[in-house]
Amino acid sequence: MDCYWYISDSLRPWEAAVVGTLARALIREGVKLHSFCGGGTESLGIPGLLSWHSLNTTERALIVGTKGKLWHLWGTPPSWWKFIRFRSRTIHTLFENPAKDWKGHPTVLSATACSSGESYIPPAFEMKMNWSAEEAKDSFDEGRTPIFLLSGSRGDEYDMFAEEAAKASSILRNFDESPDEGMKLLSSGNCILLLPHPSSSLALLAAFAALMGIPSAAVRSALMDETLGKEGYVHLPSENSVEATHAIQSALGEGGRSASAFARRNVTDSFPPEKGARKLKTLYISLGGDQ
């Protein structure tokens, strides 16, 4: 089986990590993968991955015009994608796009968000931490101030959550302003992910946080239930400051620790890399990728 991937630079760090994990598992399944990336290549960790920008004009034209009968596009399509679609079978995976502007066979990484005509690909996560997924890890150092990382907020929510965090002797940071910096803070511990409006992509982020021992507080949603499990996160009321205070206090204590441990087990048990790779391989065969 021969397959070409193009990974857009529109992917956020945790989305790119899912793609990289799927790619490595797919290669282990025997798929010959040729992959190109519109941005940096280091975070993806895919063997043989090439930066699209490192190729000269002739090399790009040759690839677009002649290479591959099956292509998989991840993220926002590049301007030249229509030439690939003209001569090859194409698959397109979006992480978040309400408009559903598909440029090939549509695939999503959430069974909950999957609608008619789309194919579901289970996301993939790797346990790279030095603690067991079966153990609760206390990610809070009493000598450091806890940090709430807010993502996907709307309107005046930031001010409300900043006030509630201050009441709990913690501070609030806007994750969306600098995702790369937010990922560094997550990996350093002493953080809680705050998601007042969970989405498909943010549910993946919460899964990565759980693998790092970081609990999430989020409004109850089918997306979060699917990814972390119903007990895998602290439930956050949507518009009630009194209940928000209670949820924040719970996330800082035993409620956050037990939710994080539950979420880690759910993520590692439900989304091993091999599961997503097998689904991709089946999809490629059904679309003629074995020809």
pLDDT band at 131 (very low <50, low <70, confident <90, very high): very low
Distance of CA 199 to the CA centre of its chain: 10
pTM over 0.85: yes
Query: What percent of the chain is modeled with pLDDT above 90?
Result: 64
The answer to whether 7 touches 16, Cβ cutoff 8 Å, is yes
What is the assigned CATH class of domain 147-270? Answer: alpha beta
How much is the CA Rg of the chain, to the nearest whole Å? 20
Residues 223 and 207: their CA atoms lie apart, in Å, by 11
* Integer Cα distance of 200 and 284 in angstroms: 23
> Per-residue b/e over 11-40, b at no fewer than 16 CB within 10 Å?
bbebbbbbbbbbbbbbbeeebebbbbbbbe
10 Å Cβ neighbour count for 57? 7
Q: What is the DSSP letter of 54?
A: G
Task: Tell me the domain boundaries of the chain.
Answer: 2-124+271-286, 147-270
Query: In terms of Cα–Cα distance, which of 174, 175, 169, 165 is closest to 143?
Result: 169
Q: How confident is the model at residue 136 (pLDDT cuts 50, 70, 90)?
A: very low
Structurally, at CATH architecture level, domain 2-124+271-286 sits in 3-Layer(aba) Sandwich (3.40)
131-140: burial string, b at 16+ Cβ within 10 Å, e else: eebeebbebb
DSSP 246: H
Which residues of 159-209 form beta strands (DSSP E)?
171-174, 191-195
pLDDT of 141 over the 80 cut: no
Outline where DSSP puts E strands in 18-86: 32-37, 50-51, 70-74
Token pair recorded at residue 234: 């602290």
The pLDDT of residue 244 is 79
Per-residue pLDDT tens over the stretch 264-285 = 999 999 999 999 999 999 999 9
Confidence (pLDDT) at 241: 59
pLDDT in tens, 213-239: 999 999 999 999 999 999 999 998 765
124-128, 163-167, 224-228, 236-240, range with the lowest pLDDT: 236-240
Q: Is the pLDDT of residue 1 over 90?
A: no
pLDDT tops 70 at residue 289:
no
Matching residue, tokens 């079966």: 134
| Mean predicted lDDT score pLDDT of the chain | 88
165 has a pLDDT exceeding 80 = yes
Q: Determine the Cα–Cα distance for residues 232 and 263; give it in Å rounded to an integer.
A: 4
pLDDT for the residue 189: 83
- Indicate if the alpha-carbon torsion angle 252, 254, 256, 260 is positive or negative: positive
Query: Of 140, 157, 242, 156, whose CA–CA distance to 194 is shortest?
Result: 157
